[in-house]
Amino acid sequence: MNIVQGLKYSNGHEWVRVEGNQATIGVTDFAQSQLGDVVFVELPEDDIIVRAGDGFSVIESVKAVSDIYAPVSGKIVKVTIELTDISELDDLMDADAYERFVAEGGH
């Protein structure tokens, strides 16, 4: 399990990285492993106002639908990843695989 130093974490298993007046929000590695195979993510639209504790996004595994709660209040300024095909994620590396990839020469 990967717990990154320097981030803030909510008890709902969201992480927050603050830079200036902007916060980047994500779901922890632990929460993803608890959910099981993630098959769908519904992200919020730009410019909506959220309050801390609002369910503003949804993540779905094969069996479960879970809300992602805003760990802090603010306006959504940018949704950075638009996941249209979740299966594309299967083609990408996790941190361990990437570490091996680099160790083997990185190509």
With CA atoms as reference, report the closest residue to 27 among 70, 74, 64, 63: 70
Minimum gap (Å) between residue 33 Cβ and another protein: 10
CB 91 within 8 A of CB 99: no
* Window 48-107: residues binding another protein (CB under 8 A): 58, 60-63, 65, 84, 87
Can you tell me the distance from the alpha carbon of 75 to that of 90, in angstroms, rounded to the nearest whole number?
A: 31
* Window 16-45: residues binding another protein (CB under 8 A): 36-37, 39-40, 42
CB atoms inside a 10 Å sphere around CB 35: 19
Minimum gap (Å) between residue 21 Cβ and another protein: 30
| Binding interface with another protein (CB under 8 A) | 36-37, 39-40, 42, 58, 60-63, 65, 84, 87
